[in-house]
Amino acid sequence: MAPLGRRHSSMGDTPFRLMFGLDPRMDFTEIDASGVVDPNALDGARSLKERRDQAREALVKAQEYQKAYYDKSHRPTTFQEGDLVWLDLRNVKTSLSSKKLDVRR
């Protein structure tokens, strides 16, 4: 059965399935409250932990890829006193009464 919900592109699985180890129930039937532990619970817990570890590794890999992509074209800029720079005046108050007639930068 295909998982309900959208798969995360980096993790390859739905967030609900990674958190709880199964797809959300949609039948709305009563749960057995007898307190009997399912013998497969340990296997399910191990499987869930493995999937979460895989998702964590996939997210780290995606972050590393994004960092490498950004670092390829990014150059840190340093400014010296006297350098000419653009100043965004959106949040600067000036003496003119009209923004329309004010200097843009």
pLDDT in tens, 15-51: 888 888 877 765 555 455 565 666 677 777 788 888 8
Give me the domain span that covers residue 33. Answer: 1-105
pTM (2 d.p.): 0.47
pLDDT (average), residues 80-90: 86
What pLDDT is recorded for position 33? 56
Interacting residues of 54 by C-beta distance below 8 A, sequence separation 6+ = 11
Q: Are 10 and 20 in contact (CB under 8 A)?
A: no
What pLDDT is recorded for position 91? 80
Q: How far apart are CA 19 and CA 38, in angstroms?
A: 19
**How many domains in the chain?**
1
Whether the per-residue pLDDT at 4 is higher than 90: the answer is: no
> How large a percentage of the chain has pLDDT more than 90?
23
